[in-house]
């Protein structure tokens, strides 16, 4: 997740710091050694063999909700990540997150999702690895800040440092109004971010490209304190949920997996 401009939080607090250390190998693993295979997830069910559901902790004092497994569920072929007012584990709200059990390396990452509007809320799709896995903090982000759901923020971290542009890219019609496609291509010396098939940002400096195999995360959370970045928190007034229709990973050299995939478009453009 992108670091707020006026805040210096410890990198290990930012994402997934208490997540399943016991179920993930602790050895260092570079992105070109990752074992994660290509997949398309359409959420006919919530496959707990693929997805770990975060439950019972928060990522730090900046987060005003506790991850709850009850806020991650599949309905009508979509993953719904909720945010609701409820006292749980010293927080006044509960929120939803899932993460892959496997780590993935270079390739094409895609999600089709509808984000949540609301100042102080954040809907995210990103890759992350960090100290809980005894590795440096590497990360590649898409984040919709609910204070301005007409745009999505893209960014990346290398060894705990935010080295990206934290660019805000337009989302036609609004990220909260309908489903949109977000994708990034992660290569050894390049990252390219796409929104609805259009290139919105590119990083070509190899020193600014993550190099460690990472897990895939989907989340919705809130903050009372990160006002300069996420806006002053406004309680939604009732339960809300981000919706995810599809998630996919395509390994380098593998065929594109569905017609709408950015991997198909890039292959066609290269011919």
- Alpha-carbon span 160 to 14, nearest angstrom: 10
- Give me 193's structure tokens: 């971010």
List the catalytic residue out of 41, 97, 110, 143. 143
List the catalytic residue out of 41, 110, 139, 201. 139
- Predicted pLDDT at 1: 55
Q: Which domains does the chain have, with CATH numbers?
A: 11-20+36-270 (2.60.120.200)
Q: Is 143 a catalytic residue?
A: yes
The answer to whether the beta carbons of residues 2 and 164 sit under 8 Å apart is yes
- Predicted pLDDT at 18: 39
Mean pLDDT by 10 residues, the chain (271 residues): 36 40 54 92 97 97 98 98 97 98 98 98 98 93 98 97 97 98 98 98 98 98 98 98 98 96 93 82
> By C-alpha distance, which of 245, 242, 248 is closest to 78?
245
Q: Is 139 a catalytic residue?
A: yes
């Amino acid at each position: 997740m992108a670091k707020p401009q006026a805040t210096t939080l410890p990198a290990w607090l930012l994402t997934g710091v208490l997540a399943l250390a016991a179920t993930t190998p602790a050895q260092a693993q570079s992105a070109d050694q990752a074992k994660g295979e290509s997949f398309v997830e359409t959420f006919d069910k919530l496959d707990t063999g693929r997805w770990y559901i975060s439950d019972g902790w928060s990522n730090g004092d900046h987060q005003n909700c506790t991850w709850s497994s009850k806020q991650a569920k599949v309905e009508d072929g979509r993953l719904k990540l909720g945010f609701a007012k409820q006292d749980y584990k010293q927080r006044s709200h509960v929120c939803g997150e899932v993460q892959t059990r496997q780590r993935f390396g270079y390739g094409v990452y895609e999600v089709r999702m509808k984000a949540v509007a609301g100042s102080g809320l954040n809907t995210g799709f990103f890759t992350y690895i960090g100290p809980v896995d005894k590795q440096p903090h590497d990360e590649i982000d898409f984040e919709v800040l609910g204070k301005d759901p007409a745009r999505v923020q893209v960014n990346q971290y290398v060894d705990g440092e935010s080295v990206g542009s934290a660019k805000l890219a337009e989302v036609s019609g609004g990220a909260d109004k309908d489903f949109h496609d977000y994708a990034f291509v992660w290569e050894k010396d390049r990252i390219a971010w796409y929104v609805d098939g259009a290139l919105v940002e590119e990083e070509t400096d190899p020193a600014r490209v993550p190099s460690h195999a990472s897990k895939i995360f989907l989340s919705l959370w809130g903050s009372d304190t990160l006002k300069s970045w996420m806006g002053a928190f406004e309680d939604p007034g009732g339960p809300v949920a981000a919706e995810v229709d599809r998630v996919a990973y395509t390994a380098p050299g593998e065929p594109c997996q569905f017609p709408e995939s950015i991997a198909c478009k890039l292959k066609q453009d290269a011919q």
